[in-house]
Structure 1
């Protein structure tokens, strides 16, 4: 029996084949993640489902229409997804296609932290009140719907402009999803805790309230004092220095251990103090 015809090698080649296909599809999904192509892909899946259902229920006219759509769909995909395909080919040419996701995610996390720190420092110095909530694992879709949709790239200039007094969007919270400002002028639930200091205003109560129902990280800039506070899991850290504020955001929003401070997160230190 030739060596290439051994059954074990056939099984191994099939497993490798499936793994490579899965890996390429995964990388393609990572390329289009966060772009409009995601919504278009959903539309394609709807068309395929309609085609299968029309065949099952013998809806001949609808089935013929869906068949024509799918037949010409390949050409349409090339035209519609042209920016994403070009970007994927450019990354493949630079040798970055297979290493893209980890590197890009790390860069996005650093960009997000830098933008928030720069905007917060600017507003704190000028006593511009602000309320910024950063989505983590728990979705904040219900609270995003209460505000004005933006879906804009996160920059410190845009964050500052949103909270400039007497502008249409300054009253309420900004909710950040990854590297996007999802919405502004959002309403957050107010905390009903009786232990909150009476000197704290609505922004601090809203920051505590959202931290009690989600795992989000929420930043408050006081317009009276310019002090910066952060809430998470129902805890409030007040009057943070620039160093402490940067440490918290780096620990909470950046996954790369090389970029994190060597000291443990301030939240973990507080938890240890409580338990001790």
Structure 2
């Protein structure tokens, strides 16, 4: 298969693919917020458990992908250590951002609220950057069939990410449309940047570092969600919550099979 010519039309196509994979499915998943708001506290904890399961799967999958990518490059700039470096830097940076958001949103609900939704969006957005890199790189080297499979699989998968973003908003006042759109763009737009970067730059070390950033972001978000999983007795992993985490892991595994099928 011949490599597509890197023209303006090619990069415009990458932008459209990034929008289709990132922003559109995330926003579609967020449309289920009115239904989710009817859930009680137990239902919300289960939903947050599903979110944690989803994020854990993404973190593990991205780590394995980043390490494999770094090892295949020979490690001139650190190999797999680049993944670790990116993860640590992202975790520290998002922790600092979280503290700033806490200062600016003193009235946000403790167990969830817009602040947590922003953090989830940021973590998912950095992961979607990695998805965009994979799509852009596949098309850049002429693997059109692989690129199409990635687009279909990631699109289905990212719809569930939209549900994860709005899960902390079920127990606060109704968010505005601009707030929801902002969350969707924050989570989805990095897929556009990733597709453009993957199509323009074929650098395994840079890609491994960016994937590491996504892993660190996801880890920080999981830490943020964890306190919200506790029930009235203080248990972190009540049976219903553990079932939600398991459901999230299985959902991501099954949708992930569409990418490799």
TM-score by shorter chain over 0.5: no
Q: Which structure shows the higher strand fraction?
A: 1
Q: Would you tell me which structure has more helix in proportion to its own residues?
A: 2
Output the TM-score relative to the length of structure 2: 0.28
Question: Which structure is richer in relative contact order (CA contacts within 8 A, separation 6 or more)?
Answer: 2
